[in-house]
């Protein structure tokens, strides 16, 4: 559980514990699923903030590319 709180990758955990990466994956998957099952479902209310939504994947920082795709699909502002 110590490693789970540090936001380490499975690769980092496998190196720390000196086990193969697939074993680390199985271990962390089991732990994460168990934690998720015990946590109550989140209920949002009031004002909620959402960060970074990509409507067109792969075009971060390239608005001209997104605009071109919209024009090809017949969309205009």
Task: State how far the Cα of 20 lies from the Cα of 17, in Å rounded to an integer.
Answer: 9
Note the pLDDT of residue 4: 61
pLDDT-derived band at 42 (thresholds 50, 70, 90) equals confident
Has residue 14 got a pLDDT over 70? yes
Domain ranges (residues) in the chain: 4-38
The answer to whether the CB of 3 falls within 8 A of the CB of 32 is no
17-38 tens-digit pLDDT: 999 999 999 988 898 888 878 8
């Amino acid at each position: 559980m110590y490693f789970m709180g540090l936001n380490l990758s499975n690769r980092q955990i496998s190196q720390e514990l000196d086990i193969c990466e697939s074993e680390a994956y199985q271990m962390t998957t089991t732990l994460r699923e168990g934690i998720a099952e015990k946590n109550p479902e989140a209920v949002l209310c009031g004002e909620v903030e959402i960060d970074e939504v990509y409507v067109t994947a792969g075009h971060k920082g390239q608005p001209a590319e997104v605009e071109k795709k919209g024009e090809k699909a017949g969309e205009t502002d």
